[in-house]
A = this chain, B = another copy of it.
Amino acid sequence: MAKAAEAPSGTRDLFADEVRRRKAAFDRLAQVFEHYGFDPLETPAFERLETFAGKLGDEAAALIFKILKRGVHEASGEADLALRYDHTVPFVRVIGTHGGKLPTPYKRYTIGPVWRADRPARGRFREFVQCDIDTAGASSILADAEILFAINEGLEALGIEDFQFQLNSRQALYGLLEAYEIPADHGGRVLGTLDKLDKASPDAVAAELADRGVSSAIAESLVADVLAADTDRVRARLDTTEQGKAGIAQVDDLLRMADDLPAGRARFNPRMVRGLDYYTGAIFEVEAPGYPGSIASGGRYDGLVAQLGGPDMPACGGSIGVERILAIQESGHQQHRGLDVALTVLGAQDEIMRLASQLRRRGLRTGIYLGSSGKLAKQLKWANEQHARWVVLYGPQEQSEGEVTVRDMESGEQIRIAIGEVAEQMSRRIEQP
Protein backbone atom coordinates (compact mmCIF):
# COMPACT_ATOMS: atom_id res chain seq x y z
CA MET A 1 0.00 0.00 0.00
CA ALA A 2 2.82 2.37 0.89
CA LYS A 3 4.74 1.45 -2.23
CA ALA A 4 1.77 2.21 -4.45
CA ALA A 5 2.24 5.82 -3.43
CA GLU A 6 5.80 5.97 -4.79
CA ALA A 7 7.11 6.57 -8.29
CA PRO A 8 8.78 3.44 -9.65
CA SER A 9 12.42 2.92 -8.73
CA GLY A 10 14.76 4.94 -10.96
CA THR A 11 12.08 7.37 -12.16
CA ARG A 12 11.21 10.94 -11.17
CA ASP A 13 8.20 13.20 -10.94
CA LEU A 14 9.18 16.45 -12.64
CA PHE A 15 7.66 19.58 -11.14
CA ALA A 16 7.05 23.02 -12.55
CA ASP A 17 10.48 24.64 -12.50
CA GLU A 18 12.24 21.54 -13.72
CA VAL A 19 9.72 20.87 -16.50
CA ARG A 20 10.07 24.47 -17.69
CA ARG A 21 13.86 24.42 -17.54
CA ARG A 22 14.05 21.12 -19.43
CA LYS A 23 11.51 22.22 -22.02
CA ALA A 24 13.43 25.46 -22.62
CA ALA A 25 16.65 23.46 -23.15
CA PHE A 26 14.99 20.98 -25.52
CA ASP A 27 13.35 23.81 -27.45
CA ARG A 28 16.68 25.60 -27.88
CA LEU A 29 18.27 22.40 -29.18
CA ALA A 30 15.36 21.74 -31.54
CA GLN A 31 15.67 25.25 -32.93
CA VAL A 32 19.37 24.78 -33.67
CA PHE A 33 18.69 21.48 -35.43
CA GLU A 34 15.87 23.07 -37.44
CA HIS A 35 18.28 25.77 -38.63
CA TYR A 36 20.58 23.00 -39.78
CA GLY A 37 17.77 21.51 -41.86
CA PHE A 38 17.18 18.48 -39.64
CA ASP A 39 13.57 17.32 -39.37
CA PRO A 40 11.94 16.19 -36.12
CA LEU A 41 10.93 12.52 -35.89
CA GLU A 42 8.87 10.93 -33.12
CA THR A 43 8.57 7.17 -32.92
CA PRO A 44 6.33 5.23 -30.51
CA ALA A 45 7.51 4.64 -26.95
CA PHE A 46 7.64 0.93 -27.70
CA GLU A 47 8.69 -1.22 -30.65
CA ARG A 48 8.00 -4.84 -31.50
CA LEU A 49 10.37 -6.94 -29.42
CA GLU A 50 11.71 -8.56 -32.59
CA THR A 51 12.79 -5.11 -33.86
CA PHE A 52 15.47 -5.14 -31.16
CA ALA A 53 16.36 -8.82 -31.53
CA GLY A 54 20.07 -9.24 -32.15
CA LYS A 55 20.53 -5.49 -32.64
CA LEU A 56 21.97 -4.70 -29.22
CA GLY A 57 24.72 -6.48 -27.36
CA ASP A 58 23.80 -8.91 -24.54
CA GLU A 59 24.53 -6.32 -21.87
CA ALA A 60 22.16 -3.79 -23.44
CA ALA A 61 19.51 -6.42 -24.22
CA ALA A 62 19.31 -7.28 -20.51
CA LEU A 63 18.29 -3.69 -19.77
CA ILE A 64 15.24 -3.65 -22.06
CA PHE A 65 11.80 -3.15 -20.49
CA LYS A 66 9.57 -5.78 -22.09
CA ILE A 67 5.79 -5.49 -22.34
CA LEU A 68 3.59 -8.48 -21.66
CA LYS A 69 1.20 -9.71 -24.35
CA ARG A 70 -2.35 -8.61 -23.70
CA GLY A 71 -5.76 -10.19 -23.28
CA VAL A 72 -5.89 -13.99 -23.38
CA HIS A 73 -2.16 -14.09 -24.23
CA GLU A 74 -1.21 -12.35 -20.99
CA ALA A 75 -1.26 -15.63 -19.08
CA SER A 76 1.56 -16.96 -21.28
CA GLY A 77 3.93 -14.57 -19.49
CA GLU A 78 5.46 -13.74 -22.86
CA ALA A 79 6.44 -10.29 -24.08
CA ASP A 80 5.89 -8.98 -27.60
CA LEU A 81 6.81 -5.28 -27.24
CA ALA A 82 9.70 -3.39 -25.69
CA LEU A 83 10.18 0.20 -24.55
CA ARG A 84 12.73 1.91 -26.76
CA TYR A 85 16.27 1.54 -25.48
CA ASP A 86 17.74 4.24 -27.70
CA HIS A 87 16.74 6.34 -30.72
CA THR A 88 19.06 4.59 -33.17
CA VAL A 89 17.18 1.30 -33.58
CA PRO A 90 13.82 3.11 -34.10
CA PHE A 91 15.51 5.50 -36.58
CA VAL A 92 16.78 2.59 -38.64
CA ARG A 93 13.40 0.84 -38.35
CA VAL A 94 11.72 3.99 -39.70
CA ILE A 95 14.08 4.00 -42.70
CA GLY A 96 13.07 0.39 -43.29
CA THR A 97 9.34 1.11 -42.92
CA HIS A 98 9.07 4.38 -44.85
CA GLY A 99 12.29 4.28 -46.93
CA GLY A 100 11.16 5.52 -50.35
CA LYS A 101 8.92 8.26 -48.94
CA LEU A 102 11.72 9.87 -46.93
CA PRO A 103 13.85 12.68 -48.38
CA THR A 104 17.37 11.79 -49.56
CA PRO A 105 19.47 12.24 -47.58
CA TYR A 106 17.22 11.87 -44.54
CA LYS A 107 18.29 14.23 -41.76
CA ARG A 108 16.37 13.88 -38.53
CA TYR A 109 16.55 14.90 -34.89
CA THR A 110 14.82 13.25 -31.95
CA ILE A 111 14.71 14.58 -28.40
CA GLY A 112 12.75 12.18 -26.24
CA PRO A 113 12.83 9.64 -23.44
CA VAL A 114 14.39 6.20 -23.60
CA TRP A 115 14.07 3.52 -20.95
CA ARG A 116 16.76 1.26 -19.53
CA ALA A 117 16.42 -1.08 -16.56
CA ASP A 118 19.81 0.00 -15.25
CA ARG A 119 20.52 -0.25 -11.55
CA PRO A 120 19.26 3.14 -10.31
CA ALA A 121 21.95 5.40 -8.86
CA ARG A 122 22.46 9.05 -8.09
CA GLY A 123 22.02 10.86 -11.40
CA ARG A 124 21.28 7.63 -13.29
CA PHE A 125 17.65 7.11 -14.19
CA ARG A 126 15.61 4.41 -15.86
CA GLU A 127 13.73 7.00 -17.88
CA PHE A 128 15.87 9.74 -19.40
CA VAL A 129 15.92 11.96 -22.46
CA GLN A 130 18.29 11.34 -25.33
CA CYS A 131 18.99 13.92 -27.97
CA ASP A 132 20.14 12.51 -31.32
CA ILE A 133 20.76 13.91 -34.77
CA ASP A 134 21.54 11.68 -37.73
CA THR A 135 21.93 11.90 -41.48
CA ALA A 136 21.30 8.75 -43.51
CA GLY A 137 22.15 8.48 -47.18
CA ALA A 138 25.12 10.85 -47.44
CA SER A 139 28.77 9.83 -47.57
CA SER A 140 30.10 13.37 -48.05
CA ILE A 141 32.39 14.71 -45.32
CA LEU A 142 30.07 17.74 -45.39
CA ALA A 143 27.47 15.56 -43.68
CA ASP A 144 29.97 14.75 -40.90
CA ALA A 145 30.84 18.44 -40.62
CA GLU A 146 27.15 19.40 -40.35
CA ILE A 147 26.68 17.00 -37.42
CA LEU A 148 29.73 18.46 -35.72
CA PHE A 149 28.64 22.06 -36.26
CA ALA A 150 25.07 21.37 -35.14
CA ILE A 151 26.36 19.71 -31.95
CA ASN A 152 28.68 22.67 -31.43
CA GLU A 153 25.85 25.15 -31.72
CA GLY A 154 23.55 22.96 -29.61
CA LEU A 155 26.07 22.94 -26.77
CA GLU A 156 26.44 26.71 -27.05
CA ALA A 157 22.63 27.01 -26.93
CA LEU A 158 22.69 25.07 -23.65
CA GLY A 159 24.96 27.76 -22.24
CA ILE A 160 28.17 25.74 -22.24
CA GLU A 161 30.96 28.14 -23.07
CA ASP A 162 34.12 26.15 -22.82
CA PHE A 163 34.29 22.77 -24.54
CA GLN A 164 36.47 20.88 -26.98
CA PHE A 165 35.86 18.40 -29.78
CA GLN A 166 38.30 15.49 -29.81
CA LEU A 167 38.46 14.35 -33.43
CA ASN A 168 39.72 11.13 -34.89
CA SER A 169 38.85 8.64 -37.59
CA ARG A 170 38.37 4.92 -37.50
CA GLN A 171 40.39 4.75 -40.73
CA ALA A 172 43.23 6.59 -39.04
CA LEU A 173 43.15 4.06 -36.21
CA TYR A 174 43.10 1.09 -38.61
CA GLY A 175 45.84 2.79 -40.66
CA LEU A 176 47.96 3.02 -37.55
CA LEU A 177 47.53 -0.70 -36.85
CA GLU A 178 48.36 -1.44 -40.48
CA ALA A 179 51.51 0.70 -40.25
CA TYR A 180 52.65 -1.50 -37.37
CA GLU A 181 51.53 -4.66 -39.19
CA ILE A 182 49.19 -5.58 -36.33
CA PRO A 183 46.79 -8.22 -37.73
CA ALA A 184 43.24 -6.99 -38.33
CA ASP A 185 41.68 -9.65 -36.05
CA HIS A 186 43.71 -8.22 -33.15
CA GLY A 187 42.68 -4.69 -34.06
CA GLY A 188 39.59 -4.29 -31.91
CA ARG A 189 41.28 -5.40 -28.72
CA VAL A 190 44.39 -3.32 -29.39
CA LEU A 191 42.26 -0.20 -29.93
CA GLY A 192 40.25 -1.00 -26.80
CA THR A 193 43.51 -1.01 -24.86
CA LEU A 194 44.73 2.26 -26.41
CA ASP A 195 41.39 3.81 -25.34
CA LYS A 196 42.48 3.34 -21.71
CA LEU A 197 45.29 5.90 -22.00
CA ASP A 198 43.05 8.54 -20.40
CA LYS A 199 42.95 6.59 -17.16
CA ALA A 200 45.93 4.21 -17.18
CA SER A 201 49.64 5.00 -17.35
CA PRO A 202 51.50 4.64 -20.67
CA ASP A 203 53.52 1.76 -19.19
CA ALA A 204 50.42 -0.10 -18.06
CA VAL A 205 48.85 0.31 -21.49
CA ALA A 206 52.05 -0.80 -23.24
CA ALA A 207 52.14 -3.84 -20.95
CA GLU A 208 48.54 -4.73 -21.75
CA LEU A 209 49.30 -4.36 -25.46
CA ALA A 210 52.18 -6.77 -25.03
CA ASP A 211 49.74 -9.21 -23.36
CA ARG A 212 47.60 -8.92 -26.46
CA GLY A 213 50.49 -10.24 -28.56
CA VAL A 214 52.00 -6.94 -29.69
CA SER A 215 55.81 -6.93 -29.41
CA SER A 216 56.93 -4.63 -26.64
CA ALA A 217 58.97 -2.43 -29.01
CA ILE A 218 55.87 -1.85 -31.17
CA ALA A 219 53.65 -1.40 -28.12
CA GLU A 220 55.92 1.34 -26.77
CA SER A 221 56.23 3.04 -30.11
CA LEU A 222 52.47 2.94 -30.66
CA VAL A 223 51.80 4.46 -27.25
CA ALA A 224 54.45 7.13 -27.84
CA ASP A 225 52.88 7.92 -31.25
CA VAL A 226 49.42 8.64 -29.89
CA LEU A 227 50.62 10.42 -26.75
CA ALA A 228 53.08 12.81 -28.43
CA ALA A 229 52.31 16.43 -27.64
CA ASP A 230 52.33 17.37 -31.30
CA THR A 231 50.71 15.12 -33.84
CA ASP A 232 53.51 15.22 -36.44
CA ARG A 233 54.85 11.89 -35.26
CA VAL A 234 51.57 10.02 -35.67
CA ARG A 235 50.79 11.88 -38.90
CA ALA A 236 54.08 10.66 -40.37
CA ARG A 237 53.16 7.12 -39.38
CA LEU A 238 49.67 7.40 -40.89
CA ASP A 239 51.17 8.72 -44.10
CA THR A 240 52.67 5.29 -44.74
CA THR A 241 49.32 3.55 -45.44
CA GLU A 242 46.35 4.30 -47.67
CA GLN A 243 43.87 3.84 -44.79
CA GLY A 244 45.93 6.13 -42.60
CA LYS A 245 46.06 8.82 -45.30
CA ALA A 246 42.29 8.61 -45.84
CA GLY A 247 41.67 8.85 -42.11
CA ILE A 248 43.88 11.85 -41.49
CA ALA A 249 42.34 13.55 -44.54
CA GLN A 250 38.89 13.27 -42.90
CA VAL A 251 40.20 14.74 -39.67
CA ASP A 252 41.97 17.56 -41.52
CA ASP A 253 38.86 18.34 -43.59
CA LEU A 254 36.89 18.73 -40.37
CA LEU A 255 39.61 20.76 -38.65
CA ARG A 256 39.83 23.11 -41.65
CA MET A 257 36.06 23.62 -41.73
CA ALA A 258 36.08 24.20 -37.96
CA ASP A 259 38.63 26.94 -38.41
CA ASP A 260 36.00 29.63 -37.75
CA LEU A 261 35.09 28.19 -34.36
CA PRO A 262 36.69 29.64 -31.21
CA ALA A 263 40.41 28.80 -31.00
CA GLY A 264 41.06 25.30 -29.63
CA ARG A 265 37.41 24.20 -30.05
CA ALA A 266 38.50 21.14 -32.08
CA ARG A 267 41.67 19.08 -32.07
CA PHE A 268 42.96 15.84 -33.54
CA ASN A 269 43.22 13.26 -30.75
CA PRO A 270 44.90 10.17 -32.23
CA ARG A 271 44.15 8.00 -29.17
CA MET A 272 40.41 8.73 -29.06
CA VAL A 273 38.74 5.45 -30.05
CA ARG A 274 35.04 5.63 -29.00
CA GLY A 275 33.80 2.46 -27.39
CA LEU A 276 31.12 1.47 -29.86
CA ASP A 277 32.23 -0.92 -32.55
CA TYR A 278 29.95 0.33 -35.26
CA TYR A 279 31.78 3.52 -36.23
CA THR A 280 33.49 3.40 -39.62
CA GLY A 281 34.78 6.93 -40.36
CA ALA A 282 35.31 10.22 -38.59
CA ILE A 283 34.49 10.11 -34.86
CA PHE A 284 34.28 12.74 -32.16
CA GLU A 285 33.83 13.22 -28.45
CA VAL A 286 33.25 16.49 -26.61
CA GLU A 287 34.75 17.30 -23.24
CA ALA A 288 34.04 20.31 -21.07
CA PRO A 289 35.63 21.46 -17.81
CA GLY A 290 33.32 20.74 -14.88
CA TYR A 291 31.46 17.97 -16.70
CA PRO A 292 32.57 14.37 -16.11
CA GLY A 293 33.14 12.15 -19.14
CA SER A 294 32.01 13.35 -22.54
CA ILE A 295 28.98 15.60 -22.99
CA ALA A 296 28.47 14.75 -26.67
CA SER A 297 29.79 12.24 -29.14
CA GLY A 298 29.20 10.74 -32.52
CA GLY A 299 30.66 9.74 -35.82
CA ARG A 300 30.13 7.95 -39.09
CA TYR A 301 28.61 4.46 -39.04
CA ASP A 302 28.23 3.41 -42.67
CA GLY A 303 27.46 -0.26 -42.07
CA LEU A 304 24.95 0.03 -39.25
CA VAL A 305 21.72 0.79 -41.10
CA ALA A 306 22.04 -2.42 -43.13
CA GLN A 307 23.23 -4.36 -40.08
CA LEU A 308 20.10 -3.26 -38.16
CA GLY A 309 17.85 -4.49 -40.97
CA GLY A 310 17.59 -1.31 -43.06
CA PRO A 311 18.82 -0.71 -46.58
CA ASP A 312 22.55 -0.43 -47.21
CA MET A 313 23.24 3.28 -46.82
CA PRO A 314 25.95 5.48 -45.37
CA ALA A 315 25.08 7.40 -42.22
CA CYS A 316 26.56 9.61 -39.55
CA GLY A 317 25.22 11.16 -36.40
CA GLY A 318 25.78 12.60 -33.01
CA SER A 319 24.21 12.75 -29.60
CA ILE A 320 24.22 15.35 -26.82
CA GLY A 321 24.23 14.04 -23.24
CA VAL A 322 21.50 16.44 -22.33
CA GLU A 323 20.44 14.75 -19.05
CA ARG A 324 24.01 14.89 -17.78
CA ILE A 325 24.34 18.53 -18.77
CA LEU A 326 21.03 19.51 -17.16
CA ALA A 327 21.92 17.65 -13.96
CA ILE A 328 25.20 19.58 -13.63
CA GLN A 329 23.56 22.90 -14.47
CA GLU A 330 20.65 22.28 -12.08
CA SER A 331 22.07 24.03 -9.04
CA GLY A 332 22.86 27.21 -10.96
CA HIS A 333 19.46 27.64 -12.56
CA GLN A 334 16.97 27.68 -9.70
CA GLN A 335 14.17 30.04 -10.53
CA HIS A 336 10.54 30.00 -9.54
CA ARG A 337 7.94 31.11 -11.98
CA GLY A 338 5.68 33.03 -9.62
CA LEU A 339 2.39 34.68 -10.40
CA ASP A 340 2.45 38.03 -12.12
CA VAL A 341 -0.79 38.96 -10.38
CA ALA A 342 -2.56 37.35 -7.42
CA LEU A 343 -6.23 38.27 -7.00
CA THR A 344 -7.63 38.19 -3.49
CA VAL A 345 -11.33 37.38 -3.10
CA LEU A 346 -13.20 39.57 -0.61
CA GLY A 347 -16.64 39.12 -2.13
CA ALA A 348 -17.51 40.20 -5.69
CA GLN A 349 -16.48 36.85 -7.21
CA ASP A 350 -17.88 37.62 -10.64
CA GLU A 351 -15.85 40.82 -11.05
CA ILE A 352 -12.70 39.06 -9.81
CA MET A 353 -13.23 36.26 -12.34
CA ARG A 354 -13.76 38.80 -15.11
CA LEU A 355 -10.64 40.72 -14.10
CA ALA A 356 -8.65 37.46 -14.03
CA SER A 357 -9.78 36.65 -17.58
CA GLN A 358 -8.70 40.06 -18.82
CA LEU A 359 -5.27 39.74 -17.18
CA ARG A 360 -4.82 36.20 -18.50
CA ARG A 361 -5.73 37.16 -22.04
CA ARG A 362 -3.01 39.78 -21.90
CA GLY A 363 -0.55 37.01 -21.07
CA LEU A 364 -0.15 37.72 -17.37
CA ARG A 365 0.18 34.66 -15.15
CA THR A 366 -2.74 35.26 -12.85
CA GLY A 367 -3.96 33.39 -9.81
CA ILE A 368 -7.20 33.71 -7.85
CA TYR A 369 -7.40 32.84 -4.16
CA LEU A 370 -9.34 29.56 -4.18
CA GLY A 371 -9.28 28.84 -0.44
CA SER A 372 -12.09 29.19 2.03
CA SER A 373 -10.72 31.95 4.24
CA GLY A 374 -12.28 35.38 4.02
CA LYS A 375 -9.36 36.91 5.94
CA LEU A 376 -7.06 39.20 4.01
CA ALA A 377 -3.97 38.16 6.02
CA LYS A 378 -4.47 34.54 5.02
CA GLN A 379 -5.01 35.46 1.39
CA LEU A 380 -1.86 37.60 1.37
CA LYS A 381 0.08 34.66 2.82
CA TRP A 382 -1.12 32.58 -0.12
CA ALA A 383 -0.06 35.33 -2.56
CA ASN A 384 3.37 35.34 -0.96
CA GLU A 385 3.73 31.57 -1.27
CA GLN A 386 2.84 31.95 -4.94
CA HIS A 387 5.76 34.41 -5.36
CA ALA A 388 3.24 36.92 -6.66
CA ARG A 389 4.67 40.15 -8.07
CA TRP A 390 1.47 42.13 -7.52
CA VAL A 391 -1.61 41.55 -5.42
CA VAL A 392 -5.02 42.97 -6.29
CA LEU A 393 -7.39 43.87 -3.43
CA TYR A 394 -11.06 44.53 -4.16
CA GLY A 395 -12.86 45.07 -0.88
CA PRO A 396 -16.16 46.85 -0.17
CA GLN A 397 -14.54 50.30 -0.28
CA GLU A 398 -12.84 49.68 -3.62
CA GLN A 399 -16.08 48.24 -5.00
CA SER A 400 -18.05 51.31 -4.04
CA GLU A 401 -15.50 53.49 -5.84
CA GLY A 402 -15.12 51.28 -8.93
CA GLU A 403 -11.41 50.85 -8.26
CA VAL A 404 -8.98 48.18 -7.11
CA THR A 405 -5.96 48.46 -4.85
CA VAL A 406 -2.79 47.01 -6.35
CA ARG A 407 0.06 46.17 -3.98
CA ASP A 408 3.62 45.86 -5.24
CA MET A 409 4.90 42.84 -3.29
CA GLU A 410 8.53 43.91 -3.65
CA SER A 411 8.23 47.51 -2.44
CA GLY A 412 5.02 47.18 -0.43
CA GLU A 413 3.74 50.27 -2.25
CA GLN A 414 0.00 50.42 -2.96
CA ILE A 415 -1.83 52.25 -5.72
CA ARG A 416 -5.47 52.61 -6.73
CA ILE A 417 -6.50 51.86 -10.33
CA ALA A 418 -9.96 52.13 -11.91
CA ILE A 419 -11.22 48.54 -12.37
CA GLY A 420 -11.67 48.99 -16.12
CA GLU A 421 -8.01 49.92 -16.55
CA VAL A 422 -6.35 47.27 -14.40
CA ALA A 423 -5.57 44.79 -17.17
CA GLU A 424 -4.03 47.37 -19.45
CA GLN A 425 -2.01 49.10 -16.74
CA MET A 426 -0.74 45.87 -15.24
CA SER A 427 0.34 44.47 -18.58
CA ARG A 428 2.26 47.68 -19.25
CA ARG A 429 4.01 47.34 -15.89
CA ILE A 430 5.01 43.77 -16.70
CA GLU A 431 6.58 44.80 -19.97
CA GLN A 432 8.41 47.77 -18.41
CA PRO A 433 9.06 46.74 -14.83
A50 close to B357 (CB less than 8 A): no
A313 to chain B, nearest CB (A): 12
Given contacts A65-B81, A93-B5, A354-B260, contact A13 B98 (CB under 8 A): yes
Known: A7-B44, A7-B97, A8-B46. A105 touches B370 (CB 8 A): yes
Residue A212 at the chain B interface, CB threshold 8 Å: no
Stretch from A32-40, A162-170, A187-195, A299-307 that touches the partner: A32-40
Interface size class of A (residues with CB under 8 A): 35 or more
Q: Point out the residues of chain B lying under 8 angstroms from A143, CB to CB.
A: 370
Q: Does A372 contact B (CB under 8 A)?
A: yes
Interface residue A287 (Cβ < 8 Å from any Cβ of B): no
Interface residue? A276 (CB, 8 A): no
Q: Which of A351-394 contact B (CB under 8 A)?
A: 352-354, 356-357, 360-361, 363-368, 370-372, 385-386
Q: Is A153 an interface residue (CB 8 A)?
A: yes
Q: Which residues of B contact A146 (CB under 8 A)?
A: 356, 368, 370
- Contact yes or no, A46 B77, CB < 8 A: no
Which chain A residues (137-170) contact chain B, with CB distance < 8 Å? 138-143, 145-146, 149, 153
Given contacts A65-B70, A357-B149, contact A13 B42 (CB under 8 A): yes
Cβ A40 vs Cβ B67 within 8 A = no
Would you call A210 an interface residue if the criterion is a C-beta within 8 Å of the partner chain's C-beta atoms?
Answer: no
Contact B97 A142 (CB under 8 A): no
Chain A 55-71: CB-based contact to B (< 8 A → 1; otherwise 0): 00000001101111011
Query: Is the CB of A182 closer than 8 A to any CB of chain B?
Result: no
CB <8 Å contact, A43 and B13: yes
Distance to closest chain B CB from A357 (angstroms): 6
Task: Report whether over half of chain A's contact residues are helix, strand or loop; otherwise say mixed.
Answer: mixed
Given contacts A149-B357, A256-B350, A386-B103, contact A372 B139 (CB under 8 A): yes
Query: Contacting A339 at CB < 8 Å: which of B37, B105, B339?
Result: B37
Selecting from A14-22, A239-247, A277-285, A322-330, the interface stretch reads A14-22
- Decide: B45 and A113 in contact? CB cutoff 8 A: yes
Interface presence of A83 (CB below 8 A): yes
- Smallest CB gap from A66: residue in B: B68
* Alpha-carbon separation in the docked complex, A140 to B343 (Å): 14
Answer whether residue A94 sits at the interface, using C-beta atoms and an 8 A cutoff: yes
Would you call A53 an interface residue if the criterion is a C-beta within 8 Å of the partner chain's C-beta atoms? yes
Q: So how many copies of this chain end up in the complex?
A: 2
Known: A353-B149, A371-B138. Contact between A81 and B43, CB under 8 A?
no
A257 adjacent to chain B (CB < 8 Å) = yes
Instruction: Tell me if A115 counts as interface (CB < 8 A to partner B).
Output: yes
Instruction: Give 7 closest A-B pairs by Cβ, nearest first.
Output: A77-B77, A11-B44, A16-B39, A138-B370, A37-B367, A5-B96, A19-B40
Which of A's residues lie within 8 Å of B, judged by CB? 1, 3-8, 11-16, 19-20, 23, 31-32, 34-37, 39-48, 50-51, 53, 62-63, 65-68, 70-71, 74, 76-79, 81, 83, 93-94, 96-98, 103-105, 108, 113, 115, 117, 127, 135, 138-143, 145-146, 149, 153, 253, 256-257, 259-260, 309, 337, 339, 345, 349-350, 352-354, 356-357, 360-361, 363-368, 370-372, 385-386
> Would you give 26 A-B contacts (Cβ < 8 Å), ordered by A?
A4-B48, A6-B97, A7-B47, A7-B97, A13-B94, A13-B98, A14-B41, A14-B43, A15-B98, A16-B41, A19-B40, A35-B361, A37-B365, A44-B127, A45-B113, A46-B65, A63-B70, A68-B77, A70-B117, A141-B349, A142-B352, A142-B353, A146-B370, A149-B353, A256-B350, A257-B350
